[in-house]
A = this chain, B = another copy of it.
Amino acid sequence: MQAGGKTEKVPETILAAMRQTNELFAVEVVAKGDVAVLDRIYTAAARILPPGTPMIAGREQIKSFWKQAVAAMGVQSAKLSSDYVEASGDAIIEIGHADLGLVNGKSVSVKYVVQWKQEDGSWKWNIDIWNTNE
């Protein structure tokens, strides 16, 4: 703890890298259904905490989750927006929200907290938890 830095603003270059990762999720995973791309989005040891199911740990398990979740929820589009981003040590905390477009024409509003970490030179989701507003 004592060696750790203080909370800091996140440089624009990193914010841009984060937007790129979020865009990958929206375009490749949600719109195209390509869960292999999750290798570039989640760290190998990532944990997700989805509503309605216990925590899921590990990227392969996370791929299985999203494969069935995108189909089961009928999500065909996602727009992710950051509301608050802060760096602390080697991690970044993001609070954001997502607007999900469903195949039935309805939309769902989701808010989330993501802890980001750098892996293989990319910023990825290491802890990911969300819930709905309604």
**Residues on A facing B (Cβ under 8 Å):** 1, 3-8, 10-11, 14, 47, 49-55, 83-84, 87-91, 93, 95, 111-113, 115, 117, 127, 129-134
Q: Which residue of B lies closest to A134 (CB)?
A: B52
Given contacts A89-B89, A129-B113, contact A5 B7 (CB under 8 A): no
Roughly how many angstroms separate A117 CA and B86 CA in the complex, as a whole number? 13
Copy count, this protein chain:
2
Q: Cβ of B1 and Cβ of A8 under 8 Å apart?
A: yes
Other A-B pairs beyond A3-B6, A47-B84, 13, CB < 8 Å: A1-B14, A3-B5, A4-B88, A6-B90, A50-B131, A51-B131, A88-B88, A88-B89, A91-B93, A95-B127, A111-B129, A113-B113, A131-B131
Cβ A132 vs Cβ B52 within 8 A: yes
Also in contact, A133 and B11, with CB within 8 A (given A88-B88, A95-B47): no
